[in-house]
Structures are given as C-alpha cells and as structure tokens.
Chains A and B, each alone.
Chain A
Amino acid sequence: QQPVQSPQAVILREGEDAVINCSSSKALYSVHWYRQKHGEAPVFLMILLKGGEQKGHEKISASFNEKKQQSSLYLTASQLSYSGTYFCGTERGAAGNKLTFGGGTRVLVKP
C-alpha cells in the first residue's frame, strides 16, 4: 500500500525551514528518501531503518517514528538547490529492498 506524503507542495523563501512527512499504515523496515528535479532521475538522499540507524546525506536531517510508522524529512535553512520533488519509498520487513513510493512533495525555494 502506497505511503502518504504531506504536504503535497510547499513554497519557501531561501533560508526558511520545512518538514515533509511520510506515513504508512503498515509496519516498516526502512524508509528511503529521494529528490527528483524536473526531467531528471531521482537522487538518493537518505535511508532510515527501524532501530534508529541512518545512512545517507550528511547535510540532510530526517527521523523515523516506528510507533507511528512515520518518517519526516527536515529541510533546514533551505537553499535554492533544495527545489524539486521529494519522494519517500517504504520497505517492509520481508520485501528485500522492494520499495513502494509515495506520491511526492513538490518543494519550491524562492530567492
């Protein structure tokens, strides 16, 4: 079942902060975050595993609440380069790295 992302879109001024959420109704093993710029391929940002382990981008901050099966991605002091669509992909316990992606959150950072 597809995870639900919120908000669907957000507009920021450079330097502002935003939070993107990804929620699942199923128990998850991990949550993966990707950013996609228009006309390009998705680019890996971060993986959060149950138990607290994280892998990925040093400048990106995220969290995974196992009780709620929800992950949040924090865009802090946003830069113009943060613009794009952010997708979460969820992996369930026995899935073997098969991801189910959410519908995406469009982020536009303005000068």
Chain B
Amino acid sequence: NAGVTQTPKFQVLKTGQSMTLQCAQDMNHNSMYWYRQDPGMGLRLIYYSASEGTTDKGEVPNGYNVSRLNKREFSLRLESAAPSQTSVYFCASSKGLQGARADTQYFGPGTRLTVL
C-alpha cells in the first residue's frame, strides 16, 4: 500500500496563477482532509470530506476549492494564487466510518508551494 500520495511535491506559482493539488489514498478510507502548515506553525484545516460526495469548510477555506472526485481522490484548487498561500499543504485520510470520531488520520508527504 502506498498510503496517501500527493502531487506535485514542489510548485512555484506567480501571483494570480491557478493550480490543483492532487491527493489519493489506497486504504479505502471514507474521510479525507486538506491542511496547510506555515513555517514554524501547526496544521490548519482548509477543507474536509467526510465521505464521497460531501465536502465542508474547515478553519481557513478562503481562496480554495475542493473536489472529492471519488472515494480515493480529493483535490485542492487555488483559483488565483496569492503570496499568503505560500505554505506546505498536507492531505490526510481516515477510516471515517459513519459518525466516526477519534479516528486516526494518515498524512501524505506534502506539497511545498511558493507563490511569488
């Protein structure tokens, strides 16, 4: 099992450009998450998907959109990148059985994004 994979690993954008970060998991998990981590700081939840076909906002959703393409894949889109979106982006997944709480989250390796 590869676990949670993310592409690309690194990306440099100019202000105003758009891009999509891809995330896939092969653990048959129901729930998936997108976080950002700024230098020296903790993780902040951008969006999450409790199950296929559902998405919901986290702490810092402004400037982002998501798509839960199927059970395996959850993408994050920046429509018009800004320097404030320079960060490391982590995708995570959990089993997410219906009503699940206290569920272990498994993280991907991250995408390091710089917006100039």
CB pair A95 B101 closer than 8 Å: yes
Contacts of B31 in A (CB 8 A): 97
Contacts of A32 in B (CB 8 A): 102, 104-105
B74 interface hit (Cβ, 8 Å): no
Task: Tell me whether A98 and B48 are in contact in the complex, defined as CB-CB below 8 angstroms, given that A2-B42, A42-B90, A87-B42 are known contacts.
Answer: yes
Tell me, in angstroms, the Cα distance from A32 to B59 when the chains sit together: 18
CB pair B108 A97 closer than 8 Å: no
Residue from A43, A56, A91, A103 in contact with B42 in the complex, judged by beta carbons closer than 8 Å: A103
Among B43, B44, B102, B106, max chain A CB count under 10 A is at: B102
Task: Tell me whether A97 and B45 are in contact in the complex, defined as CB-CB below 8 angstroms, given that A41-B107, A42-B107 are known contacts.
Answer: no
Contacts of B2 in A (CB 8 A): none
Contacts of A111 in B (CB 8 A): none
Interface range for B: 20 to 34
Tell me, in angstroms, the Cα distance from A2 to B104 when the chains sit together: 19
B103 interface hit (Cβ, 8 Å): yes
B93 to chain A, nearest CB (A): 11
Among A30, A43, A100, max chain B CB count under 10 A is at: A100
Among A29, A44, A103, max chain B CB count under 10 A is at: A44
Considering the complex, which residues of chain A in the window 31-64 have a beta carbon less than 8 Å from any beta carbon of chain B?
A: 32, 40-44, 47, 49, 55-56
CB pair A96 B50 closer than 8 Å: yes
Residue from A2, A56, A97 in contact with B94 in the complex, judged by beta carbons closer than 8 Å: A97
Residue from A2, A42, A97, A101 in contact with B103 in the complex, judged by beta carbons closer than 8 Å: A97
CB pair A91 B102 closer than 8 Å: yes
Q: Which positions in A face B, CB cutoff 8 Å?
A: 2, 29-30, 32, 40-44, 47, 49, 55-56, 87, 89, 91, 95-104
Q: Which 6 A-B pairs have the closest CB atoms?
A: A101-B42, A41-B107, A30-B102, A101-B43, A97-B103, A103-B42
